[in-house]
Structures are given as C-alpha cells and as structure tokens.
Amino acid sequence: MYEFNHSHPSEVEKRESLIKEMFATVGENAWVEPPVYFSYGSNIHIGRNFYANFNLTIVDDYTVTIGDNVLIAPNVTLSVTGHPVHHELRKKRRDVLFSDNDWQ
C-alpha cells in the first residue's frame, strides 16, 4: 500500500501491477486512484471494470466483494466492522457485497 500510494502518476504499469498484488482478486480493467487505505487487502475481491477515486478506505476485517462495473466516488469508507450496543450482536459479523453496475 505504501509503495502504491507514493508512486508517481506516470508509473501507470507499476500501479497496475501493485493493484493486482494488494488485493485478493482483481478483475480486468480495475483502477484505483491513490491514496488508498485498507486493513489487510487479502479480504478484498474486485470485479471487472472497477474504478475507485482517491482516498478510498476499506476496513476489511472480513470479506469485501465488489462486483463488475462498480464506480466509487472520492473519500468513501467501506467498513465491515461495526460496534453494536447489544453485547450479543457484537459477536456477529457481516460481509460487504457491491453488486455489478453499482456506483457509490
């Protein structure tokens, strides 16, 4: 993540390669504008034709699946971790899924 976030804008091929390394799976034609922040990266699955604008933050303590043709606006945070008030609810988790053709 550090190397990606500090890459020069002209290093397009390097950024493409790092995007594929940072996440668990990445479909064709996926692009992320730096900076991007995430907890692990290994829990993030990205579909085809994906675009994320700058300052995307993903708290991927659990699985985050982003479908095909998804666009994410600047300064978006995706968090699978929450803090329910009731103690029994805090023991449960929920994965995040963005369907195909979604825009956030």
Q: Is 83 a catalytic residue?
A: yes
pLDDT at 93 over 80: no
Residue 80 lies in a domain: yes
Distance CA 38, CA 41 (A): 6
Residue 103 lies in a domain: no
**pLDDT (0 to 100) of residue 55:** 99
Q: How many folded domains does the chain comprise?
A: 1
Residue 67 lies in a domain: yes
CATH number at 11 reads 2.160.10.10
Which tens digit of pLDDT belongs to each residue from 16-60? 999 999 999 999 999 999 999 999 999 999 999 999 999 999 999
Residue 82 lies in domain: 2-98
Residue 55 lies in a domain: yes
Residue 78 lies in a domain: yes
Catalytic residue among 6, 8, 83, 86: 83
Residue 104 lies in a domain: no
The mean of the pLDDT values for the chain is 90
Per DSSP, the chain holds a count of helices (H) and strands (E) of 2, 10
| Mean pLDDT (whole number) for 7-15 | 98
20, exposed or middle or buried, with CB in 10 Å at 0-12, 13-18, 19+? exposed
